[in-house]
């Protein structure tokens, strides 16, 4: 979201009476409207009104913002805004308002307003924003205003105005060196509930979806690019690459056995998800669920996590290229997994396969035909890989007393493996 927008670019979107008022006030202040910019400034506060679809908030405060600017609360002209009182989302003039102000007024600290949110039904933008406000995820407001009078560093009056404010506002003393401009008179055009795209997190998208928001409402909420970026953000993620010691290149790979050792290394019954995920390349669901972690390619040797070459190959073959049906459906996820695993390929001084579609025959040539079944994955996965002419032998899965996978399942796994080798 831009903090500065040419006033002329917004004029055609404003009511005729408001345009006339802007020209009139600019003339009174000696400003040329064609050279002015609409500024936006965000603040963070919210108090819900009990029993109402409403929140009382400061939409602007007297604090120094990131640009070193101050808006004097008593210098904000509310006259035109009070004619319609509309509250917008992200300063988007092309969308319907999400609510309106029951009242708005300046005090010593800032501009305070009581916003009543429109009841437009499940899945609508106004409903989604209200749910975010009610649940405490949406707290930021921002005003759009036309600067009419100000003083700035270098002006003759700047020092005197700053000194006067410092005497009235004690909190300014620690920040006065950062002040570069003080707005003494501005015209309020609108205020918005905002969530700057760079700061949007998966929680906002998750709440929006739970409120019935469809893809179009999500795009209104966070923008088209951000909506796509955060699609399924709470459901899947590529694990960042991390360098670990390399296991001997010919070490056999048994994903199920590796998972057991990784879980013990991560804390056993009280396993730490942040530690456990280091051994995998992708998380496709709830991080508190062991089955959400796919693409294991590390193993625990003498209490340390090692990168296993045949595990790297197995994850690349299955998740990226779809060997034995394990391919991730989303191309951006596959690309992220590919980039992670490609770094391990280079660690072992191996040629990285080209990121493209391969025929089954090409996949067999690249990765071999040896397969097995991982009961925790729920799909076929290459467990043991090596040159096609020299297959690596899979060691039978050992039943460990107290393990969370039943003996019958492990016996079936062993039967399948023996039948395929």
* Model confidence pLDDT, tens digit, residues 153-203: 888 899 999 999 989 888 888 888 888 899 999 999 889 888 753 333 444
In this structure, what token pair is assigned to residue 365? 């040539």
Domain coordinates of the chain in residue numbers? 4-229, 237-420
Tell me the whole-structure pTM to 2 decimals. 0.44
CB 228 within 8 A of CB 331: no
Angle between helices 125-134 and 202-210 (to 10 degrees): 120
DSSP helix/strand/coil, 69: strand
CB 380 within 8 A of CB 324: yes
Instruction: Please tell me the chain's helix, strand, coil percentages from 3-state DSSP, rounded to the nearest 5.
Output: 40, 20, 40
How far apart are the C-alpha atoms of 302 and 249, rounded to whole Å?
A: 17
- List of long-range contacts for 209-218, beta carbons under 8 Å, 24+ apart: 210/131, 211/122, 211/123, 211/127, 211/128, 211/131, 212/122, 212/123, 212/127, 212/128, 213/123, 213/125, 213/128, 214/123, 217/123, 217/124, 217/125, 217/128
How far apart are the C-alpha atoms of 105 and 184, rounded to whole Å?
A: 16
pLDDT per residue rounded down to tens, the chain (421 residues): 444 456 555 555 555 656 666 666 676 767 776 666 655 555 555 556 567 889 888 888 888 887 788 899 999 999 889 988 999 988 887 788 999 999 999 988 889 999 999 999 888 889 988 988 888 878 888 888 888 899 988 888 999 999 999 898 888 888 888 888 999 999 998 898 887 533 334 445 545 545 555 556 656 655 554 455 444 443 457 888 889 999 999 999 999 999 999 999 999 988 988 899 999 999 887 788 888 899 999 999 999 999 999 999 999 998 998 876 678 877 878 888 999 999 999 999 999 999 988 888 888 888 875 433 333 333 333 333 333 333 333 344 444 444 444 555 555 555 554 443 3
Number of neighbouring beta carbons within 10 Å of residue 30: 8
């Amino acid at each position: 979201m831009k903090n500065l927008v040419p006033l002329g670019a917004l004029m055609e979107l404003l009511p005729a009476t408001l345009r006339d008022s802007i020209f009139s006030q600019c003339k009174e202040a000696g400003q040329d409207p064609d050279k002015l910019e609409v500024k936006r400034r965000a603040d963070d506060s919210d108090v819900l009104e009990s029993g109402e679809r409403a929140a009382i908030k400061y939409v602007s405060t007297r604090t120094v913002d990131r640009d070193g600017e101050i808006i004097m609360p008593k210098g904000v002209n509310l006259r035109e805004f009070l004619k319609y009182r509309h509250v917008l989302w992200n300063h988007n003039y092309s969308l319907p308002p999400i609510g309106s102000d029951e009242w708005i007024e300046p005090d010593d600290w800032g501009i305070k307003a009581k916003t009543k949110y429109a009841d437009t039904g499940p899945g609508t933008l106004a409903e989604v924003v209200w749910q975010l406000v009610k649940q405490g995820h949406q707290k930021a407001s921002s005003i759009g205003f036309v600067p009419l009078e100000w003083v700035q560093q270098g002006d003759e009056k700047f020092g005197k105005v700053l000194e006067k404010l410092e005497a009235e506002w004690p909190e300014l003393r620690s920040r006065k060196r950062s002040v570069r401009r003080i707005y003494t008179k501005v015209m309020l055009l609108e205020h918005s509930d905002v969530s700057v795209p760079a700061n949007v997190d998966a929680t906002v998208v998750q709440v929006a979806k739970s409120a019935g928001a469809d893809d179009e409402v999500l795009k209104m909420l966070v923008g088209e690019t951000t909506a796509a970026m955060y699609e399924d953000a709470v459901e899947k993620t590529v694990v960042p690459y991390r360098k670990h010691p390399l296991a001997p290149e010919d070490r056999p790979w048994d994903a199920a056995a590796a998972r057991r050792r990784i879980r013990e290394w991560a804390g056993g019954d009280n396993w730490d998800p942040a530690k456990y995920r280091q051994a995998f390349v992708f998380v496709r669901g709830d991080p508190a669920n062991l089955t959400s972690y796919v693409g294991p390619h590390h193993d625990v040797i003498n209490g340390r996590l090692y990168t296993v070459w045949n595990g790297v190959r197995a994850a690349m073959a299955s998740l990226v290229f779809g060997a034995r049906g394990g391919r991730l459906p989303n191309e951006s996820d596959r690309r992220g997994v590919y980039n992670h695993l490609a770094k391990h390929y280079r660690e072992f001084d191996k040629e990285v396969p080209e990121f493209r579609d391969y025929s089954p025959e090409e996949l067999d040539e690249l990765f071999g035909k040896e397969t097995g079944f991982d009961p925790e994955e729920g799909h076929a996965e290459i467990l043991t890989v090596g040159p096609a002419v020299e297959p690596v032998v899979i060691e039978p899965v050992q039943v460990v007393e107290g393990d969370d996978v039943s003996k019958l399942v492990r016996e079936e796994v062993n039967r399948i493996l023996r039948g395929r080798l």
